[in-house]
Amino acid sequence: MKKIILLILAIGIIAPAGIIFWRQKSQVEPANPNLALTQEVWETIKTNYWEKISDEELAKLYQVGLEKLTGKQISFKSANLQGVLKMLVKQAELAPQLNDLVLANLKPFGRSRLYSRKEEQALAENVANYNRATGQIEPSITGRALTNDIYYLKHTKFSPNSLTELEKTANESEKQPQMTTLIYDLCGNIGGSLDLLPYFLGPFIGQNQYAYQAYHQEQKEEVKTQTGWLNSLVKFKKVIILVDQETQSSAEVMAAVLKKYNVGVLVGTKTKGWGTVERVFPLQNQPDPGQKFSVFLVHSLTLR
């Protein structure tokens, strides 16, 4: 398990579900850097967006977006990439705002965006649970004994250190071997790196168990656990999983899987419903050498 943990720590800080770059050369190679940016964003959406989207649907988003930015009625001759680039050629300086608007209007609305360098760095720090004020990575899991029989685990985020923290915190309960009840608190857990979940679920349900499905452009991928039981968790005969309306993303999948495998009883309110996987896609074409944009895109959905 220690080797796996080190591997996770090495890659997990980059982005919620890792960084993938895809560059597909199409028929048009715009000389204008703003048009080149638009072309690359278009291709990134077509290849990596969770849902298949037609040229006509995507071109319509660009048309409506440009109309909103200019306050004028816009038309194009062909509802495809070439038509969009020709439509934008006289207003190419609007490309960053337009592409951000198009991404924001992909379903689920507001989740995908065109990120600046500053926003991408803030995302990486958030995923890593890095506190800029203190210059330290804050713990995402804490634990304490409530009574001689009950142990309480509070989990606020799935960060690169979460698996190590789980093992360390759960092992603390071994000091009181008579404990039989675990309260696992996911209230307010905002999720985080879904790449961690196959490793994080293993200590609760065992290795090589079907955890969830990842859905991307009409394809379903079965995801299995990558780690085995954690002895300091196995001893608990009663497990209560706390959730609320702010439990979201990876934390929702975690709660659903624990319920599916009858690990414990869910207690709380309806969760947020954000079963999405976002990824950061770097862009080669930058309209301004002093600026760096990347695409933050909903890549797939998680299915129980």
Q: Is the pLDDT of residue 276 over 50?
A: yes
Domain limits, the chain: 2-14+134-268, 33-125+278-303
Neighbours of 159 (CB within 10 A): 25
Which residues are bridge partners to 215 per DSSP? 220, 301
| 1 has a pLDDT exceeding 50 | no
Is the per-residue pLDDT at 17 higher than 70? no
Mean pLDDT of 41-48: 98
Is the model's pTM score more than 0.75?
yes
Q: How many CB atoms lie within 10 A of CB 30?
A: 17
Q: ∠ at Cα 290 (67, 13), nearest 5°?
A: 95
Q: What is the mean pLDDT of residues 227-255?
A: 95
Instruction: Report the alpha-carbon distance of residue 244 to residue 254 in Å, rounded.
Output: 13
Instruction: List Cβ neighbours of 126 (8 Å cut-off, separation of 6 or more).
Output: none
Q: Which are the contacts of 128, defined by CB distance < 8 A and separation ≥ 6?
A: 12, 13, 137, 159, 160, 161
Average pLDDT taken over every residue of the chain: 89
At residue 7 the predicted structure's pLDDT band, cuts being 50, 70 and 90, is very low
Indicate whether 27 pLDDT > 70: no
User: Residues 281, 282, 284, 288: is their CA dihedral positive or negative?
Assistant: positive
What is the CATH topology of the domain spanning 2-14+134-268? Answer: 2-enoyl-CoA Hydratase; Chain A, domain 1 (3.90.226)
Instruction: Give mean pLDDT, residues 74-102.
Output: 95
Q: Does residue 255 carry a pLDDT above 90?
A: yes
**Residue of 287, 298, 103, 105 lying closest to 216 (CA atoms):** 298
